């Protein structure tokens, strides 16, 4: 399959006559049909999607004609979502899909072929179709923004990037499996989609399946329920490249793990490429069978590290350039400095600023950025550790750091300790038991008591509240 190209979407809308598809739209419809077929299975696609007729655009709605109301309802209830998702991938301008009943000339001539036109579908063929539901196992559609070209490379992800590119370009496995791991929002799914796109481009004949471990499990369970394991196994073992995203999802799910293990072995034994992503390294995966963990680590294990300032800045520059907006340098630097959690959040912050600017028609400045992102920035101020809080509070009240974890009960020591507990609860995302552990292994109820006590004192005593406030603020800068 050819890689869908991003088209000049403005032109599509402008040049399409109402309900009269252009050649470009027809091409896009063909690509969409391929995507939908990989999503819902070829046989369903033949039965239900092929009979639809592309009629054109109505505003931002794509209009398809259905031969009768039965087919229209069926498609709307079962395949609309998949079609809309695919359309949005191919042509970002399209907001949704509308199906109308279109009295096309009825072609019953080919009823003996394998594609029965929907308009002559009887209850019987409908039933056999339901049964066949279990027979197709497919991957998930790919996001066309997730390409190697759009991936910004920096120190934290250069190994994963290089390994992914190598796997995509080589016609035989160089390392098997490729295991990509890293925290949430750091680009694992992006890299996996990029591999799939690249393989489609370089080796179009290779059969690639990309899906989440969750979807793998779902299809496996369905195969079990429909007593269709043979077909399930055949289909997954026939692929040239199998990609499973977020494999940690099947931890603790023993039968799915077992099946995955066998699929995995069958493919690797045939020298077919397997690519897996997870949030942890193979050996750190919990509730996974030992033999699976060790097998997952046999090939190349490439980790994506948390982002650095430079990478975040590079991504912000690339994204704003791609969107064609000019962002003040100080705003990009501020964002790169403050939004450290992950790239998804960084993108979210950028989008919010752009949306706000276009909504209120004001230019983007550091001030508006801080205003628009106030809540987000607060939750990102979590570089603070409990130890730092303890040190600062001990210093402020002139007590020893060791008293933060000691059992001494004198008020002049116990009270500052409670203040430190309270601030730890306010300024870090640690749970009460976690905070308790940092204070010499105290129980979580002790921490809760301290938090309540300090709140009470703050409400009653202005000077006390002021002390606590000063401490809190000095820790936040
Ligand atoms: P993960 O699967 O690791 O949770 P994703 O691959 O979904 O993370 O990435 C989250 C978002 O960040 C996506 O929109 C992705 O395009 C973007 N992103 C991640 N890494 C990069 C990168 N190196 N360059 C550009 N965009 C990136
Ligand atoms: Mg992901």
* Mean pLDDT on 406-417: 94
Which of 121-130, 246-255, 459-468 ranks highest by mean pLDDT?
246-255
* Mean pLDDT on 129-149: 73
Query: Is the C-beta atom of 319 inside 6 A of ligand 1?
Result: no
* Mean pLDDT on 351-377: 85
Hey, which CATH number is domain 386-475, 3.20.20.80, 1.20.120.140, 1.10.3720.10, 1.10.1750.10?
A: 1.10.1750.10
Please give the residue that has the higher pLDDT: either 118 or 322: 322
pLDDT in tens, 38-65: 888 877 888 788 889 898 888 788 899 8
Q: What percent of the chain has pLDDT over 70?
A: 87
* Mean pLDDT on 75-85: 88
Query: Is the C-beta atom of 321 inside 6 A of ligand 1?
Result: no
Please give the residue that has the higher pLDDT: either 188 or 336: 188
Q: Categorize the per-residue pLDDT at 71 as very low, low, confident or very high, splitting at 50, 70 and 90.
A: confident
Atom of ligand 1 nearest to the CA of 161: 23
pLDDT for the residue 379: 67
Query: Is the C-beta atom of 388 inside 6 A of ligand 1?
Result: no
Reported CATH class of domain 309-380: mainly alpha
Lowest mean pLDDT among 66-75, 270-279, 352-361: 66-75
Q: Categorize the per-residue pLDDT at 19 as very low, low, confident or very high, splitting at 50, 70 and 90.
A: low
355, pLDDT greater than 70 = yes
Q: Categorize the per-residue pLDDT at 88 as very low, low, confident or very high, splitting at 50, 70 and 90.
A: confident
Query: Is the C-beta atom of 272 inside 6 A of ligand 1?
Result: no
pLDDT for the residue 311: 96
Query: Is the C-beta atom of 121 inside 6 A of ligand 1?
Result: no
Atom of ligand 1 nearest to the CA of 246: 2
Q: Categorize the per-residue pLDDT at 287 as very low, low, confident or very high, splitting at 50, 70 and 90.
A: very high
Report domain extents, the chain: 9-117, 130-304, 309-380, 386-475
pLDDT for the residue 113: 32
Please give the residue that has the higher pLDDT: either 459 or 20: 459
Query: Is the C-beta atom of 322 inside 6 A of ligand 1?
Result: no
| Ligand nearest the Cα atom of residue 182 | 1
pLDDT for the residue 68: 76
Ligand 1 centre distance from Cα of residue 181 (Å): 13
Ligand 1 centre distance from Cα of residue 188 (Å): 7
| Ligand nearest the Cα atom of residue 151 | 1
Reported CATH class of domain 9-117: alpha beta
| Mean pLDDT for all residues in the chain | 84
Q: Which residue has tokens 């308790």?
A: 436
Q: Categorize the per-residue pLDDT at 112 as very low, low, confident or very high, splitting at 50, 70 and 90.
A: very low
pLDDT for the residue 314: 97
Ligand 1 centre distance from Cα of residue 63 (Å): 33
* Mean pLDDT on 185-194: 97
* Mean pLDDT on 247-276: 95
134, pLDDT greater than 80 = no
pLDDT for the residue 95: 83
Ligand 2 centre distance from Cα of residue 194 (Å): 13
Query: Is the C-beta atom of 187 inside 6 A of ligand 1?
Result: yes
| Ligand nearest the Cα atom of residue 185 | 1
Atom of ligand 1 nearest to the CA of 183: 3
Please give the residue that has the higher pLDDT: either 247 or 77: 247
3-state secondary structure the chain: CCCCCCCCHHHHHHHCEECECCHHHHHHHHHHHHHHHHHHCHHHHHHHHCCCEEEEEECCEEEEEECCHHHHHHHHHHCHHHHHHHHHHHCCCCCEEEEEECCCCCCCCCCCCCCCCHHHCCHHHHHHHHHHHHHCCCCCCCCCCCCCCCCCCCHHHHHHHHHHHHHHHCCCCCCCCEEEEECCCCCHHHHHHHHHHHHHHHCCCCCEEEEEHHHHHHHHHHHHHCCCHHHHHHHHHCCCEEEEECHHHHCCCHHHHHHHHHHHHHHHHCCCEEEEEECCCHHHCCCCCHHHHHHHCCCEEEEECCCCHHHHHHHHHHHHHHHCCCCCHHHHHHHHHHCCCCHHHHHHHHHHHHHHHHHHCCCCCHHHHHHHCHHHHHHHCCCCCHHHHHHHHHHHHCCCHHHHCCCCCCHHHHHHHHHHHHHHHHHCCCCHHHHHHHCCCCCHHHHHHHHHHHHHHHHHCHHHHHHHHHHHHHHHC
Query: Is the C-beta atom of 158 inside 6 A of ligand 1?
Result: no
Superfamily of domain 130-304: P-loop containing nucleotide triphosphate hydrolases (3.40.50.300)
* Mean pLDDT on 21-43: 83
Minimal-distance CA residue to ligand 1 atom 4: 185
pLDDT in tens, 215-233: 999 999 989 988 889 999 9
16, pLDDT greater than 60 = no
164, pLDDT greater than 70 = yes
Query: Is the C-beta atom of 308 inside 6 A of ligand 1?
Result: no
Query: Is the C-beta atom of 343 inside 6 A of ligand 1?
Result: yes
* Mean pLDDT on 317-325: 92
| Ligand nearest the Cα atom of residue 344 | 1
pLDDT for the residue 425: 82
Q: Categorize the per-residue pLDDT at 473 as very low, low, confident or very high, splitting at 50, 70 and 90.
A: confident
pLDDT for the residue 93: 75
* Mean pLDDT on 203-208: 92
């Amino acid at each position: 399959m050819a890689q869908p190209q991003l088209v000049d979407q403005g032109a599509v809308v402008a040049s399409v006559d109402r309900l009269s598809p252009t050649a470009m739209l027809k091409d896009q419809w063909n690509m969409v049909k391929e995507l939908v077929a990989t999503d819902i299975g070829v046989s369903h696609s033949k039965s239900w999607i092929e009979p639809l007729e592309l009629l054109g655009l109505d505003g931002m709605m794509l209009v398809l004609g259905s031969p009768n109301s039965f087919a229209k309802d069926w498609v709307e209830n079962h395949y609309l979502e998949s079609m809309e998702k695919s359309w949005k991938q191919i042509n970002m301008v399209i907001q949704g899909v509308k199906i109308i009943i279109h009295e096309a000339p009825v072609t019953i001539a080919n009823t003996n072929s394998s594609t029965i036109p929907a308009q002559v579908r009887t209850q019987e063929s409908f039933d056999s179709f339901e049964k066949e539901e279990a027979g197709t196992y497919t991957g998930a559609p790919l996001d066309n923004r997730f390409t190697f070209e759009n991936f910004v490379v920096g120190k934290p992800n250069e190994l994963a990037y290089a390994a992914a590119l190598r796997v995509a370009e080589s016609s035989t496995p160089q390392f098997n499996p490729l295991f990509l791991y890293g925290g949430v929002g750091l680009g694992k799914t992006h890299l996996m989609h990029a591999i799939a796109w690249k393989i489609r481009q370089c080796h179009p004949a290779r059969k690639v399946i990309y899906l989440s471990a969750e979807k793998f499990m779902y299809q496996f369970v369905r195969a079990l329920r429909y007593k269709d394991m043979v077909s399930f196994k055949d289909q997954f073992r026939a692929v040239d490249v199998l990609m499973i995203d977020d494999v940690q999802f099947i931890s603790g799910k023993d039968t799915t793990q077992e099946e995955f293990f066998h699929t995995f072995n069958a493919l690797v034994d045939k020298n077919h490429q397997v690519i897996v992503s997870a949030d942890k390294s193979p050996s750190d995966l919990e509730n996974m069978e030992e033999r699976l963990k060790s097998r997952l680590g046999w090939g190349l294990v490439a980790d994506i590290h948390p982002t650095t300032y430079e990478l975040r800045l590079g991504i912000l520059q690339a994204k704003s350039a791609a969107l064609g907006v000019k962002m003040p340098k100080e705003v990009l630097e501020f964002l790169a400095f403050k939004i450290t959690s992950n790239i998804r959040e960084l993108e979210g912050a950028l989008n919010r600023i752009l949306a706000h600017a276009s909504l209120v028609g004001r230019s983007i400045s550091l001030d508006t950025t801080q205003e628009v992102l106030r809540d987000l920035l607060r939750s990102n101020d979590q570089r603070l550790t409990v130890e730092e809080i303890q040190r600062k509070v001990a210093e402020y009240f002139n007590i020893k750091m060791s008293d933060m974890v000691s059992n001494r009960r004198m008020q002049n020591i116990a009270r500052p300790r409670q203040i430190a507990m309270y601030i730890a609860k306010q300024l870090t995302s640690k749970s009460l038991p976690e905070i308790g552990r940092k204070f010499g292994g105290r129980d979580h109820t002790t921490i809760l008591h301290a938090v309540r006590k300090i709140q009470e004192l703050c409400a009653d005593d202005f000077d006390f509240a002021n002390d606590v406030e000063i401490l809190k603020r000095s820790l936040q800068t």
